[in-house]
Structure 1
Amino acid sequence: MFTHLLLPTDGSPASEFAIQNAIEFAKQTHARVTGVHVIPEFHVFTYQTEMLEDTREQYAKESKVQAAKFLATIERAAEEAGVACETLTLVGDHPYEAIIKVAEDKGCDLIAMASHGRKGVSGLLMGSETQKVLTHTQKAVLVFH
Structure 2
Amino acid sequence: MFQRILVPTDGSDITVKAVDRAVGLAKLTGASIEALAAKDPFPYSAVSEIQPIAPQEYYDAQERIAQQRLKAVASACEAAGIACRTTAIEALHPWQAIIDHAKQTGCDLIVMASHGRRGMSALLLGSETQRVLIHTTLPVLIVR
Structure 2: runs of 5 or more not aligned: none
Q: Partner of 1:11 in structure 2?
A: 11
SS at match of 1:33: strand
What is the aligned length?
144
Q: Partner of 2:75 in structure 1?
A: 76
Q: Partner of 2:34 in structure 1?
A: 34
Residue by residue, what CA displacement relative to the aligned partner does 1:48-102 show, whole Å, maximum 9, x if unpaired?
666x321111110001000010000110000010111100000011000000000
Give the alignment's TM-score, normalised by structure 2.
0.95
* Alpha-carbon distance between aligned partners in 2 of 1:20 and 1:11, rounded to the nearest angstrom: 13
2:57 alignment partner AA: Q
User: How far 1:40 sits from its partner (Å)?
Assistant: 1.3
Q: Which moved more, 1:88-97 or 1:52-61?
A: 52-61
1:120 alignment partner AA: G
Residue by residue, what CA displacement relative to the aligned partner does 1:16-49 show, whole Å, maximum 9, x if unpaired?
1110121111111111010000111111458466
* Alpha-carbon distance between aligned partners in 2 of 1:39 and 1:48, rounded to the nearest angstrom: 23
* Alpha-carbon distance between aligned partners in 1 of 2:136 and 2:48, rounded to the nearest angstrom: 40
Q: Partner of 1:109 in structure 2?
A: 108
CA RMSD of superposed structures (Å): 1.3
2:35 alignment partner AA: G
Give the alignment's TM-score, normalised by structure 1.
0.94
SS at match of 1:5: strand
Q: Partner of 2:89 in structure 1?
A: 90
* Alpha-carbon distance between aligned partners in 2 of 1:13 and 1:45, rounded to the nearest angstrom: 32
Q: Partner of 2:23 in structure 1?
A: 23
Structure 1: runs of 5 or more not aligned: none
Q: Partner of 1:100 in structure 2?
A: 99
Q: After TM superposition, what 4+ stretches of structure 1 lie above 3 angstroms from structure 2?
A: 44-50
SS at match of 2:79: helix
